[in-house]
C-alpha cells in the first residue's frame, strides 16, 4: 500500500500530535517501523520509478516530472510475473498507462481526481462515481475476492492518490475536520536565517505561495471580491478541476460546509494581519490534508480486516509507505523536494507474520531504492545485478549486523520549476546531512541530525565540524561514483531539462 505525499508526521505510529491513524498503526504494532526510511529524490514520479526498478533516478531516466521513464528498464513486477505471481495494480502510478509486469490494472491518469475519478484500465478508460480513496480500496478488495487465483501467489499494489494536493476529504470527514484546530509546528514562522539561498528562495510558503482557491478552497468569486489575485496562473483552474468534478449531490454537501466557513473568512479578511492569515491558512491546510488521511486510514483497515478474516494475513507481507514525505507547515512550507527531513524521510511500515518481531523499531538508513530487492528476495527471486539498492531482509529478520550501509545518496533535479527548489545532491548518515546546491548557486550545507533535529542551523563553516565536512565530502564523491552519478551527468541532464522546458512540443507530466 502506498499513499501520495503522506508525511510520516501524519501517522500516529510516528507521532500523534496531529492525527490518530489506528489502522496504519496496526502494521507497525504487528511488524516493524523504520524511522530513517527515506527517498533518493523527493518527488512523485521519480520516486515511484525508483521503487519499481531499484535504481537511482539518473539511471532509470525519470529524474523529474519532465523527463520520460526509460521503458527498457526492468521492473520488479515483471520479474514477479515471470516467476508465476499474479499481479495487479489499482490507484495512482503517475506515469505511464500500461505498467509492465501487471496482469490487471485500474490506474488514475496523471494526478487523478478525488471525486468521480477516471481510470485507465486493461479495457480502456472508465469513470467511477464516488470518492477516490474508497474506490481504490473497493477495486483492491474486489480483486482479492473475485479475481485472485487461489493456486497462485500474488503481488498486489493498492496506491492511493490521497493526500496529494489539491486536498479534498470525503464528506464524512470534511464535516468533522473543518471544525478541528491543530497544533502549529515550532518552525511555522521560520525566517531561514540559519540556512542558505535555497531555503530563502523556495516558493513553498503557506501564506505567499499556496493557492487560495485550489488549496485553501476560497471560492473564486470571493477571491475577486477581496481583490486576491491568482498568483500561480492556475489557481482558479485547479478549483474548477477538483471541486467542479463533484456531481450535484456531492457539491451541495460540500457547499453546505465550506461556503459558511468562507463567508466567515471573507468578513474577517480585511482586518487580518500576515500572522493571522498564516495561522488561518495553516489550519485550512491541515483540516483538508488530515481529512484526506482519515479516509486512507479507514481503507487500510478495510484491507487488513479482509486479510485477517480470510487468514491471508498469515502468509502475506504487508507494506505501507508513501512516495516521499511532505511539509505540514514546518519551516512555513507545504510540498516536498528538499533533502530536509520532512520531505526526505518517508513512512515505512512492514508486517510479516512469524518473520518480523511485532513492535520492532529500526533506525537504519533504508531507502525506496531498496524496496525492489527486498520484495524479490522475499519471493526467492534473484534480482538483476544492476539494481542499486540493498535488500532489507536482514533487518526484517533482526540481523542488523548484516546491514552494510551507513549512508544514503540523494539528488533532486527539477529546477527551475514549480516551487523553485534548487538542484542539489547529498549524503546522509544517521548523524549528519551534507548537501551541495548547484546550477545558479554553489553552496554547501551541513546539518547535525542528532543535535539540530529541526535542521535550523547550517554548520558547514563551523570549525568544530571541519573534520566531519572533509570526511563526508570524500564519502559523497565515492557514493556518486558508486551509483554512476557525476558532475558531467548533472550538466547533461540540466541541458536537456532546459531544452524540454522551452519546447512546447514536448509533453510533460503536470508538475502541480
396, 317 contact by CB (below 8 A): no
| In the predicted structure, residue 505 carries a pLDDT above the cut 90 | no
pLDDT band at 503 (very low <50, low <70, confident <90, very high): confident
When pLDDT is cut at 50, 70 and 90, the band that residue 506 belongs to is low
Note the pLDDT tens digit of each residue in 67-93: 888 889 999 999 999 999 999 999 999
Q: Note the pTM of the prediction, 2 decimals.
A: 0.97
Which pLDDT score is estimated for 509? Answer: 42
pLDDT given at position 174: 94
pLDDT tens by residue, 148-169:
999 999 999 999 999 999 999 9
The DSSP 8-state label assigned to residue 383 in this structure reads P
Dig out the grid coordinates for 192 from the structure: 531561514
Q: What is the pLDDT of residue 502?
A: 79
Q: What confidence category does residue 94 fall into, taking pLDDT thresholds of 50, 70 and 90? A: confident
Q: Please check whether residue 443 is in contact with residue 196, taking contact to mean a CB–CB distance below 8 angstroms.
A: yes
The answer to whether 171 and 250 are in contact (CB under 8 A) is: yes
Q: What is the pLDDT of residue 126?
A: 98
- In which band, very low, low, confident or very high, does the pLDDT at 500 lie, cut at 50, 70 and 90? confident
pLDDT(407) > 80: yes
d(Cα 265, Cα 218) in Å, to the nearest integer?
9
Confidence check: pLDDT of 402 > 90: yes
Q: What is the pLDDT of residues 187-215, one digit of tens each?
A: 999 999 999 999 999 999 999 999 999 99
Cα-flanking dihedrals φ and ψ of residue 390, to 5°?
Answer: -140, 130
Pairing of strands 104-108, 408-412: unpaired
E-strand stretches of 170-317 = none
Tell me which of 98 and 433 has the higher pLDDT: 433
Three cell numbers, residue 459:
554548520
CB 343 within 8 A of CB 327: yes
Q: What is the pLDDT of residues 342-380, one digit of tens each?
A: 999 999 999 999 999 999 999 999 999 999 999 999 999
SS3 355: coil
**Predicted pLDDT at 512:** 41
Nearest C-alpha neighbor of 424 from the set 330, 368, 499, 490: 490
Judge whether residue 510 has pLDDT over 70: no
pLDDT reported for residue 504: 62
CA R_g for the chain:
22
Interval 394-403 mean pLDDT:
96
Residue 508 — pLDDT band, cuts 50, 70, 90? very low
Q: For residue 36, what pLDDT is reported?
A: 98
pLDDT digits (tens, 9 = 90+) for 282-300: 999 999 999 999 999 999 9
Q: Mapping DSSP to helix (H, G, I), strand (E, B) and coil, where does residue 408 land?
A: strand
How much is the pLDDT for 430?
98
pLDDT at residue 66 above 90?
no
At 103-148, the pLDDT tens digits run 999 999 999 999 999 999 999 999 999 999 999 999 999 999 999 9
Q: Mean per-residue pLDDT for 474-485?
A: 98
The per-residue pLDDT of the chain, averaged, comes to: 96
> 457-466 pLDDT, tens per residue?
999 999 999 9
Spatial separation of the C-alpha atoms in residues 50 and 38, rounded to whole Å: 12
**Among candidate residues 129, 157, 137, the one with its CA nearest the CA of residue 51:** 157
Q: Reduce the DSSP state of residue 467 to 3 states and report it.
A: helix
Q: Report pLDDT for 511.
A: 41
Amino acid at each position: 500500500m502506498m499513499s501520495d505525499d503522506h508525511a510520516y508526521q501524519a501517522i500516529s505510529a510516528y507521532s500523534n500530535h496531529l492525527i490518530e491513524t489506528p489502522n496504519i498503526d496496526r502494521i507497525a504494532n504487528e511488524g516493524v517501523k523504520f524511522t530513517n526510511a527515506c527517498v533518493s529524490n523527493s518527488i512523485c514520479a521519480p520516486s515511484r520509478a525508483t521503487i519499481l526498478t531499484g535504481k537511482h533516478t539518473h539511471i532509470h531516466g525519470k529524474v523529474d516530472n519532465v523527463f520520460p521513464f526509460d521503458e527498457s528498464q526492468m521492473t520488479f513486477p515483471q520479474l514477479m510475473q515471470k516467476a508465476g505471481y499474479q499481479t495487479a495494480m489499482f490507484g495512482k502510478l503517475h506515469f505511464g498507462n500500461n505498467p509492465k509486469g501487471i496482469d490487471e490494472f485500474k490506474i488514475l491518469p496523471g494526478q487523478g481526481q478525488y471525486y468521480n475519478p477516471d481510470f485507465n484500465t486493461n479495457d480502456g478508460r472508465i469513470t467511477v462515481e464516488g470518492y477516490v480513496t474508497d474506490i481504490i480500496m473497493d477495486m483492491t478488495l474486489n480483486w482479492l475476492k473475485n479475481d485472485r487465483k487461489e493456486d497462485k501467489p500474488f503481488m498486489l499494489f493498492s496506491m492511493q492518490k490521497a493526500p496529494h494536493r489539491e486536498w479534498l476529504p470525503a464528506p464524512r470527514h470534511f464535516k468533522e475536520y473543518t471544525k478541528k484546530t491543530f497544533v502549529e509546528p515550532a518552525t511555522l514562522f521560520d525566517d531561514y536565517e540559519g540556512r542558505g539561498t535555497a531555503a530563502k528562495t523556495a516558493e513553498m510558503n503557506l501564506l505567499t505561495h499556496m493557492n487560495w482557491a485550489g488549496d485553501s478552497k476560497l471560492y473564486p468569486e470571493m477571491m475577486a471580491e477581496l481583490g486576491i489575485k491568482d498568483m500561480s496562473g492556475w489557481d482558479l483552474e485547479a478549483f474548477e478541476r477538483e471541486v467542479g468534478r463533484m456531481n450535484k449531490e456531492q457539491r451541495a454537501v460540500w457547499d453546505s460546509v465550506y461556503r459558511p466557513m468562507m463567508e466567515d473568512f471573507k468578513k474577517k479578511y480585511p482586518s487580518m494581519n500576515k500572522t493571522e492569515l498564516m495561522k488561518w491558512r495553516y489550519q485550512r491546510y491541515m483540516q483538508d490534508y488530515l481529512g484526506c488521511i482519515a479516509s486512507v486510514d479507514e481503507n487500510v483497515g478495510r484491507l487488513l480486516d479482509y486479510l485477517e478474516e480470510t487468514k491471508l494475513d498469515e502468509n502475506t507481507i504487508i507494506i505501507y509507505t508513501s512516495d516521499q514525505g511532505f511539509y505540514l507547515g514546518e519551516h512555513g512550507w507545504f510540498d516536498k523536494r528538499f533533502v530536509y527531513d520532512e520531505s526526505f524521510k518517508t513512512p515505512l511500515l512492514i508486517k510479516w507474520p512469524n518473520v518480523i518481531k511485532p513492535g520492532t523499531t529500526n533506525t537504519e538508513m533504508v531507502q525506496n531504492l531498496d524496496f525492489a530487492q527486498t520484495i524479490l528476495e522475499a519471493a526467492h527471486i534473484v534480482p538483476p545485478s544492476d539494481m542499486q539498492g540493498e535488500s532489507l531482509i536482514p533487518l526484517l529478520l533482526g540481523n542488523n549486523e548484516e546491514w552494510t550501509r551507513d549512508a544514503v545518496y540523494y539528488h533532486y533535479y527539477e529546477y527551475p520549476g514549480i516551487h523553485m527548489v534548487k538542484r542539489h545532491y547529498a549524503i546522509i548518515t544517521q548523524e549528519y546531512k551534507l548537501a551541495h546546491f548547484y546550477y545558479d548557486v554553489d553552496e554547501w550545507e551541513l546539518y547535525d541530525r542528532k543535535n539540530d533535529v529541526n535542521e535550523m542551523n547550517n554548520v558547514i563553516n563551523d570549525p568544530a565540524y571541519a573534520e566531519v565536512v572533509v570526511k563526508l565530502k570524500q564519502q559523497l564523491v565515492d557514493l556518486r561514483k558508486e551509483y554512476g552519478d557525476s558532475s558531467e551527468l548533472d550538466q547533461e541532464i540540466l541541458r536537456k531539462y532546459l531544452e524540454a522546458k522551452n519546447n512546447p512540443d514536448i509533453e510533460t507530466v503536470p508538475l502541480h
